[in-house]
Structure 1
Amino acid sequence: MAQLALSVRFLDEFGKLDSKARSGAVKTALKFQQLTLKQLWSDAGLDFKQPKGARDKHIYTCRIDRFYRGVVLAPGTGEDFLLLRVMAHDDAYAWAAKQVPSVNAVTHGLEIRDVVTVEQLVPAWEAEAATVTVEPLFAGHPDGDLRGLGIEDDVLRAARSLTSKEQLDAFAPLMPEDQWQVLQFLAEGLSVQTVWGELVAFRARNGALTVDRTDLAGAMRNTPSRIALVTGPQELSEILDKPFAAWRVFLHPSQRAMAYRPSYSGPAQVTGGPGTGKTVVALHRVNHLLKHLRASERILLTTYTGALTSALREGLALLIEDEGLRGRVDVLTVNALAREIIEPHDALRRRYLDGAQELALWEEVGAQLDLPWSGQFLAQEYKHVILAQGLRSLDAYREASRSGRGSRLPSAKRHEVWQAVEAFHAALDKRSERTHLGVCDEAAMWVGSSGAPLYRHVVVDEAQDLHPAQWRLLRAVVPTRPDDLFIAGDPHQRIYDTKVSLKSLGIPVTGRSARMRKNYRSTQEILTWSTALLDGRPVEQLEDGSADTLAGFQSSLRGARPIVYAAANQEAELAELVLCIRAWARSGVELSDIAVSARFNKIVYRVVRRLQDEGIPVVRLRQEGAADTEGVRVGTMHSLKGLEFRCVAVVGVREGTLPYPAAITPMELDPIQHHTDLTAERCLLFVACTRARDQLHVSWSGTASRFLREAGVA
């Protein structure tokens, strides 16, 4: 029987085809699993043909239906085939005629390139480069270095003609993906050594010192990051029948080394921008660790918010079918873990204060004691100094560092703040109330004093939003030994005002930290547009608080530029949103793969009512049973965190909403916290926009948010 492989490009485009084309593609693919090699070539339904003027004898087209054809690579040896794309009839012939497959001399992987267009463009670019005084884009990299990174001669010639990143981006659809990504990273200023280590080394580890440049079938097997080998009809059906969300657990080879490393000598960390697969790596790490657990041991998979635990459970279910094995993993927020530890010992069953209630209590305490500080100052001093450092006495507080606080506090005044802390605790006891971070601090002390760690391994997702008190609890529940903590996060997605240094908390990850720079979710157009919102601002790393940027952060996916819409009023903005959603649905996007996000629930309610009035099914994010319900997902920007959709509309991005004034500490109170709060609001918009895979729509009425204006996108 023949064996069919599927290219990632086909899989990416499959969901965008209309229902008839998808059905035809499935039927065609199944034939490869059911017919012998001789039957395939003679099957009238498949209608194998080489395009007129084809540049390579291994490229064919086959019939999908009356209007669509598939482009197939037939290596010519054995029974291996690769379905590259499904396109409209004439487009398939035109695209196929230009393509040439080859085997990369360094990675030994299969590459497909549009040689015809490259041959037409490169001479023109070379002529243009000769007329300008701008230094060539890769002038600082000798040919030997580029060849050592897998850049082949034809791509090397093209690269030498480039003078700007914009030209490199335009070249993307024409060159092999792996080579283009190498050039992207070099263009962003990364060293040859870094590019080798992060991109090329894992691809080149196939054990062979020499490569047969004619062995296309072997090269297919050496390219698991872009080619899915299918062993039978059942596997094929499972792949093509999976919903969009199922691809969240697909692991690329560059990530596999992190997820399935046999052992780390201590805490390990994976960081990267949105869509780089940090959550996928964390889920696969759980899968790996499960296979080595002893009988009584358990794993904690944790994150910041309850909203994200549902997505993690769904991901685990997709990855690990054995319910018994999955049952050895507790998927909890850190706050929920703290409650499970403390509440069995609490006869009063205290209730928990939300942020507004806690701030109101601090205001009340400050007024009662006639202190010169606002409730906001006292709340932040308690959170960022006292709770963050686990201070238990006035003497400890007097000696404590206030690094990171922008407001002055003379040492002689600290006893007054401590007086407020004691009054705050007394008020909580009197009212039978708790704070979430307070119970984490209490739980960490309880576990530490009991001397009985609860888990063999702890895996943390979205680590950037955890408070030091929560980190102390995680450190306490797992013994210090190899493979104790595995941490995934991105400081650029920090949407709360917490900053932390893992090193200062006794969680050293130096030498066990990896950075991912390739986005597997969003198109480069969405990524470039969204990254501009951060305005190049560095953020503090999780490891030690040093600066981190998104330099070299790229996507190999291409698509439409985000749409921005300035509406005259809110009614006009909602009317445009309805038109946008209907256009996406007509193009074949399932409603459940569309999300609408806003800063506040009051805007979300307005969106829900309007869509319902228009007859568009709506599902509130995180509502019970939402995963199995058809409808556009609608929720706040915070609730969108950790999720992904084919199409996303972000509405209400106006001044006065983003940034939200009440969420920003006044400059005169604490300039450092003021800038931290602004960054959190900026990151919130960045996170919402990068939930989109294929298309992004951003709108506002009135004056656009300063974040949009500063980025030059409004």
Structure 2
Amino acid sequence: MPQIAITNTFWEGVDRLDKPARARVHKAMGKFQHMTVPQLHADKGLHLESVVSSRDPRMRTIRVDDGLRIVLLAPDDGSDLFVLVHVVSHDKAYSWAKRRLYTVNAVTRCLEVRDLTAMEQITPLFAQEAQAAPQLLFTAWSDTALRHLGIDDVTLRAARTITGKAQLEAFGSLMPEDQFEALWLLAEGFDADEVYRDLVTVRQVAPVDESDAEQGELAAAVSRTRSRIALITGPEELADILAKPFDAWRIFLHPAQRRIAYRPGYRGPAQITGGPGTGKTVVALHRVKHLLNRSPDSRVLLTTYTGALTRSLRAGLALLLDHDQALLGRVTVTTVDALARRTVQELDGAPGAVLGDKDERRRWQRLASELGLPWNGAFLSQEYRHVVLAQDLRAHAEYALCRRRGRGSALGRAQRERAWQAMAQFEDELSHDRSCTWLQLCAQAARLLRDKPGEGPSYDHVVVDEAQDLHPAQWRLLRALVPEGPDDLFLTGDPHQRIYDAQVSLRSLGISVAGRGARLRLNYRSTEEILRWSRALLGGEPVTDLTGDEPDSLSGYRSLLHGERPVCEGYGTESAEADAVVRRVRDWVAAGVAPSEIAVCARFHTQTTGIGERLAEAGLPVVRVKDGEPEGTAGVRISSLHSLKGLEFRCVAVAGVTNSAFPFQTAVTPAAVDPLQHATDLAAERCLLFVACTRAREALYVSYSGRPSTFLDRVGSAA
């Protein structure tokens, strides 16, 4: 029987099919694996045949049904290894296969693919332009230096014609993935030694099974390319992979991800950053697996900001650990707030009721009015959150002398005294009512753990996902839950997705990640067109990193996937806009996208409700996302923007992107009150829209009625 290897490009093709077509692909794969090579050639059902005039003579196809073909790479070295590389409609399968060439990189010895026909067509055109160009993009690097990074002769010829990043991007889906990534990082200003370390070294040390090496060059190259190719050793392993609902980006850890997730050890807290879709959550899950396997008695806390994300983490970890209850029993997956409640209950009794956001806002506004203060309730709430709770201030004397980091309004001694009076009264009233806020609960839990060493919950390792949304009070709790030392804290996050108003300096909290940081730059979820369009929404404003001390950038952040540009349309009325969204969703469904792979979101509940009713009237099933992705339910997902965080869909429609919704004035502090908080609030508004748009993998539709948001001003130039 033949041996099968499956590439990530194959899984991406499967992922674009509807459920019945996927089932037929799985059936064809199972049948293929159970046949001998002579039977494969003789079988009229699968119909294994060569691709005439292909640039790679090893290209073959097999039949799934009348309209669908699997493209695969046949062995030419005496082995029985077939590599499944793509699945697509009949005509597209042959066109795709004819143009592509698979080779083994001379430096990394990994298997790679290029669209050789397209490269040969584009390179001469760019060469003509290069003759008149004053500067070429890669002039600063010699041929020797580029070859050292794995750039082969074909790619080198193309690189020597490139005058700018726009031309380099044109090669994005044509060049071998690793070679293009090396050139892209050089163009972004990264040092060649960094590129060699991050891209080349990790591939060169990839282990090769001796049996694979003995079978021939193709099998050995496949064995080295485990970041993009899964080698199937038998029918049971194939059935196991097909039964797991892991997306391709979760099955295949990129070398940069694997190097981080399975690093033997960090000497202290480690911080992993990266834009949407770069696999930060997957890295966090694999890090948990590594920590569990390294020590049979270790206890791990896996935590994040919201309950929806913890459910997603719990499900992903169960799949990754093959539902091994012994391993899962050593991991606590919960929110920081839930952990604070548990800690207080264990060490100090039941904490009482937790105040809701609306009730808290009303209390602050009432206090501002009753005390005749010159500030509104929002200002007092922010002062309490960002100064008192952030610095764990317990007395007026501490507040009078503290540095109000991140606040843009100066307060003199008399003003601080009046502000403290209001904040102290707020705490007294809550204490009288036996209630508290979530952040107060986190601060109390951290103090209890500090004052009662050896008591309460504790862990050997803490892994934090979506770290950018945590408040200093929550960080103090996490710091108190794990002893300082190697592999104590492992943090993943993206400051460009900071949608909750958290301002943190980890260093001031005793969490130093200096020298133990890494950045993920390759998006595995969305197309480059969606990323470029969405990134323009951020407006190019500087963003502070997770430590709170340095600026963070999306430099080098990109995707190898390509598709249609996002569509942004305006309408005269909200009703007309809703009709347009329904038409767009119906078009997606007609094109073969399952309703559950489509999300429609808006800022306000009234708008999502109205669109949901229109979709239902059009005969489309609808599911309301209230707190995370509902499992096993068919229907178009209708959601608020906040509830989409941590989820992804093939197609996303973001409605109601109007001037009154983005920015939403209620959520933005007036510049006259506090210019720094005003800027922070505006950035959070931009991030919220950015997060919603980057949930889309293949198609993004954005709409508005009336005046569009000023955030859309820059997207027209993001072509």
TM superposition score category, shorter chain reference: over 0.9
Matched residue SS, 2:273: strand
CA distance 1:293–1:219, change in 2 (3 Å): closer
Q: Matches of 1:145 and 1:207 in 2, distance apart?
A: 25
Task: State the match for 1:11 in structure 2.
Answer: 11
CA distance 1:434–1:171, change in 2 (3 Å): same
Does the CA contact (< 8 Å) of 2:582 and 2:611 recur in 1? no
- The answer for unaligned runs of 5 or more in structure 1 is none
Q: Matches of 2:366 and 2:88 in 1, distance apart?
A: 67
Does the CA contact (< 8 Å) of 1:267 and 1:482 recur in 2? yes
Shift of 1:88: 2.9
Does the CA contact (< 8 Å) of 2:249 and 2:524 recur in 1? no
Task: State the match for 2:606 in structure 1.
Answer: 602
Count of aligned pairs: 710
Task: State the match for 2:558 in structure 1.
Answer: 554
Task: State the match for 1:122 in structure 2.
Answer: 123
Shift of 1:383: 0.9
Give, as a single letter, the amino acid of the residue that structure 2 aligns with 1:304: Y
Task: State the match for 1:113 in structure 2.
Answer: 114
Q: Give deviations 1:270-322, integer Å, cap 9, x for gaps.
A: 11111111111111111122224554x53211111122111111111211211
Larger mean CA deviation between 356-365 and 620-629 belongs to: 620-629
Shift of 1:246: 8.3
Percent identity over the alignment is 51
Task: State the match for 1:318 in structure 2.
Answer: 319
Task: State the match for 1:576 in structure 2.
Answer: 580
Q: Matches of 2:524 and 2:88 in 1, distance apart?
A: 22
Matched residue SS, 1:158: helix
Q: Matches of 2:47 and 2:372 in 1, distance apart?
A: 87
Larger mean CA deviation between 190-199 and 71-80 belongs to: 190-199
Matched residue SS, 2:716: coil
Q: Give deviations 1:228-279, integer Å, cap 9, x for gaps.
A: 2122233323434544668546533321121122222111111111111111
Task: State the match for 1:693 in structure 2.
Answer: 697
CA distance 1:398–1:623, change in 2 (3 Å): closer
Matched residue SS, 2:65: coil
Q: Matches of 2:629 and 2:390 in 1, distance apart?
A: 37
Does the CA contact (< 8 Å) of 2:133 and 2:163 recur in 1? no
Task: State the match for 1:515 in structure 2.
Answer: 519
Q: Matches of 1:129 and 1:606 in 2, distance apart?
A: 54
Give, as a single letter, the amino acid of the residue that structure 1 aligns with 2:314: R
Superposition TM-score, scaled by structure 1 size: 0.95
Q: Matches of 2:33 and 2:306 in 1, distance apart?
A: 44
Task: State the match for 1:591 in structure 2.
Answer: 595
CA distance 1:93–1:374, change in 2 (3 Å): closer
Q: Matches of 2:41 and 2:256 in 1, distance apart?
A: 36
Query: 1:424-439 alignment to 2 at 5 Å?
Result: 424-439=426-441
CA distance 1:466–1:19, change in 2 (3 Å): closer
Larger mean CA deviation between 518-527 and 49-58 belongs to: 49-58
Superposition TM-score, scaled by structure 2 size: 0.94
Task: State the match for 1:368 in structure 2.
Answer: 370
Q: Give deviations 1:184-215, integer Å, cap 9, x for gaps.
A: 2222222222222332221222379xx99982
Does the CA contact (< 8 Å) of 2:55 and 2:98 recur in 1? yes
Matched residue SS, 2:652: strand
Matched residue SS, 1:154: helix
Does the CA contact (< 8 Å) of 1:15 and 1:589 recur in 2? no
Task: State the match for 1:614 in structure 2.
Answer: 618
Task: State the match for 1:143 in structure 2.
Answer: 143
Within the alignment, does 1:473 sit opposite 2:477 as a pair?
A: yes
Larger mean CA deviation between 471-480 and 113-122 belongs to: 113-122
Matched residue SS, 1:316: helix
Query: 1:193-342 alignment to 2 at 5 Å?
Result: 193-206=193-206, 215-243=217-245, 248=250, 250-293=252-295, 295=297, 298-320=299-321, 321-342=323-344
- The answer for unaligned runs of 5 or more in structure 2 is none
Within the alignment, does 1:654 sit opposite 2:655 as a pair?
A: no
CA distance 1:469–1:627, change in 2 (3 Å): same
Matched residue SS, 1:173: coil
Q: Matches of 1:451 and 1:178 in 2, distance apart?
A: 49
Give, as a single letter, the amino acid of the residue that structure 1 aligns with 2:310: T
Does the CA contact (< 8 Å) of 2:136 and 2:164 recur in 1? yes
Q: Matches of 1:90 and 1:79 in 2, distance apart?
A: 27
Shift of 1:74: 1.3
Task: State the match for 2:490 in structure 1.
Answer: 486
CA distance 1:262–1:9, change in 2 (3 Å): same
Does the CA contact (< 8 Å) of 1:249 and 1:315 recur in 2? no
Matched residue SS, 2:609: helix
Does the CA contact (< 8 Å) of 2:337 and 2:442 recur in 1? yes
Shift of 1:623: 5.9
Q: Give deviations 1:393-424, integer Å, cap 9, x for gaps.
A: 12211221112110010134322222222211
Q: Give deviations 1:324-357, integer Å, cap 9, x for gaps.
A: 3212222111111111122456667532222332
Give, as a single letter, the amino acid of the residue that structure 2 aligns with 1:328: R
Task: State the match for 1:64 in structure 2.
Answer: 64
Task: State the match for 2:713 in structure 1.
Answer: 709
Give, as a single letter, the amino acid of the residue that structure 1 aligns with 2:616: Q
Shift of 1:23: 4.2
Q: Give deviations 1:627-653, integer Å, cap 9, x for gaps.
A: 011111111111111111111111111
Give, as a single letter, the amino acid of the residue that structure 2 aligns with 1:181: E
Larger mean CA deviation between 343-352 and 586-595 belongs to: 343-352
Does the CA contact (< 8 Å) of 2:309 and 2:628 recur in 1? no
CA distance 1:376–1:82, change in 2 (3 Å): same
Cα RMSD for the two superposed structures: 2.3
Does the CA contact (< 8 Å) of 1:455 and 1:477 recur in 2? yes
Candidates 447, 467, 474, aligned match of 1:445: 447
Does the CA contact (< 8 Å) of 2:347 and 2:448 recur in 1? no
Larger mean CA deviation between 403-412 and 349-358 belongs to: 349-358
Does the CA contact (< 8 Å) of 2:308 and 2:629 recur in 1? no
Q: Give deviations 1:78-120, integer Å, cap 9, x for gaps.
A: 1111111223333333332232221101111111222233223
Task: State the match for 1:94 in structure 2.
Answer: 95
Shift of 1:26: 2.4
Shift of 1:505: 0.7
Does the CA contact (< 8 Å) of 1:274 and 1:690 recur in 2? yes
Within the alignment, does 1:351 sit opposite 2:353 as a pair?
A: yes
Give, as a single letter, the amino acid of the residue that structure 1 aligns with 2:664: Y
